[in-house]
Amino acid sequence: MTLKVKQKTIEKWEAFRAMKQNNNNMTRNHYAKLKNQTKWEVRKAVRSYEKKIAQESKQNPKAFFSYAKSKVKVQHAQPYLGWPFSPFNLSVAYQHHYCPSASPLLARITLIFP
């Protein structure tokens, strides 16, 4: 997380607290503005991080494949297994499934490295 993202997040939290205390149009609009700016900064930071990993993928393939694996792996929500005990095997609920369409980074990289 970059310093700018941290600052925007802290500002957003402060604006949220102010909005909760004094819920009027001005505080709500200020919070909405900061929320959008924070979202924009986070997306910008993620794009630059992915670009950096893609550019360094030849020199550091472990970092690239580690990041790609983290984005491709999809963990499904745990189903209701009963309360308080269940006869079902809990390991079934935590099976990982790979979904190639889950990562836009991997899709872009496959265009660069066919």
pLDDT in tens, 50-67: 999 999 999 999 999 999
| The token pair that represents 97 in the structure block | 């499934």
pLDDT at site 72: 81
pLDDT (tens digit per residue) in 24-50:
999 999 999 999 999 999 999 999 999
pTM exceeding 0.75: no
CB burial of residue 12 (10 Å; 0-12, 13-18, 19+): buried
**73-75 and 96-98 beta bridge pairing:** antiparallel
| Separation CA 28–CA 31 (nearest Å) | 5
Residues whose CB is less than 8 angstroms from the CB of residue 18 and which lie 6 or more positions away in sequence, other chains included: 27, 30, 31
Token output for 86 = 């269940």
DSSP string for the chain: --HHHHHHHHHHHHHHHHHHHS-SHHHHHHHHHHHHHHHHHHHHHHHHHHHHHHHTTTT-HHHHHHHHHHHHEEEPPPPP--SS--SS-GGGGG-EEE-GGG-HHHHHHHHH--
Tell me, what's the pLDDT at 52? 93
